[in-house]
């Protein structure tokens, strides 16, 4: 099944439409709408989203993308949080609340496991064999992060957008060596 996403308007006023396949190794097709009279034409076909290169959005499309990101972050947070609650990580009688330092330390442990995976040439995951161990550990990190953020009511998507906008004004490498 293909999903239709309008990414923005190009310099000629044509809408760019990205069709994303939901297949595991999904392909990406970039289609341009030339206008009502001319219809659509295939601009490019890519085997992976990464092959698209940088994508620049119109301001209106960027706002819509951030709204969608906020929705997706919220959905991931809600599902991660619910699973953590269902498995006793929140609201136990012995522990009615999460310890923030412990939650952050557990996120750090996932980063450390990801580093070990990279150090060992990124083997295949034993738990989710369609993915590498690095991908599994990245998923673990994000699940822990989104669970904690949801439990604390953090506005992550909004904060990411604000921080990225702020970072545009910063000097090269933010004024540091690395």
The residue ranges of every structural domain in the chain are: 2-52, 59-173
Return per-residue pLDDT of the chain as tens, 178 residues: 444 444 444 555 555 544 444 444 444 445 444 444 444 444 444 445 455 554 555 565 667 677 777 888 888 999 999 999 999 888 866 666 888 999 999 999 999 999 999 999 999 999 999 999 999 999 999 999 999 999 999 999 999 999 998 999 999 998 899 8
Tokens of 107: 């996120």
pTM: 0.67
Question: SS3 of 7, please?
Answer: strand
Residue 24 pLDDT: 45
Please compute, for residue 117, the number of CA atoms within 13 A of its CA located in the half-sphere on the CB side.
19
Q: Is 64 exposed, middle or buried (0-12, 13-18, 19+ CB in 10 A)?
A: middle
- Cα 101 to Cα 81, 159, 163, 166, distances in angstroms: 17, 21, 23, 27
Class of domain 59-173: mainly alpha
Supply the angle between the helices 133-152 and 59-86 in degrees, to the nearest 10.
90
- What's the pLDDT at 96? 64
Phi/psi of residue 97, each to 5°?
Answer: -140, 160
Locus of tokens 């522990």: 95
Q: How many CB atoms lie within 10 A of CB 133?
A: 21
Tokens of 30: 């970039």
């Amino acid at each position: 099944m293909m999903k239709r996403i309008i990414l923005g308007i190009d310099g000629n006023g044509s809408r760019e439409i990205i069709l994303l396949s939901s297949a595991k190794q999904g392909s990406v097709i970039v289609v341009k709408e030339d206008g009502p009279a001319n219809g659509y034409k295939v601009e490019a076909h890519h085997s992976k989203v990464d092959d698209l290169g940088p994508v620049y959005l119109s301001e209106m499309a960027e706002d819509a993308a951030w709204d969608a990101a906020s929705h997706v972050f919220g959905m991931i947070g809600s599902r991660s949080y619910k699973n953590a609650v269902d498995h006793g990580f929140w609201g136990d009688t012995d522990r009615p609340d999460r310890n923030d330092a412990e939650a952050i330390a557990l996120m750090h442990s996932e980063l450390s496991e990801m580093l070990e995976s990279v150090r060992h040439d990124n083997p295949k995951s034993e738990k989710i064999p369609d993915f590498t161990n690095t991908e599994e550990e990245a998923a673990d990190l994000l699940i822990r992060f989104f669970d904690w953020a949801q439990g604390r009511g953090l506005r992550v998507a909004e904060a990411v957008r604000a921080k990225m906008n702020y970072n545009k004004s910063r000097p090269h490498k933010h004024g540091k060596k690395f």
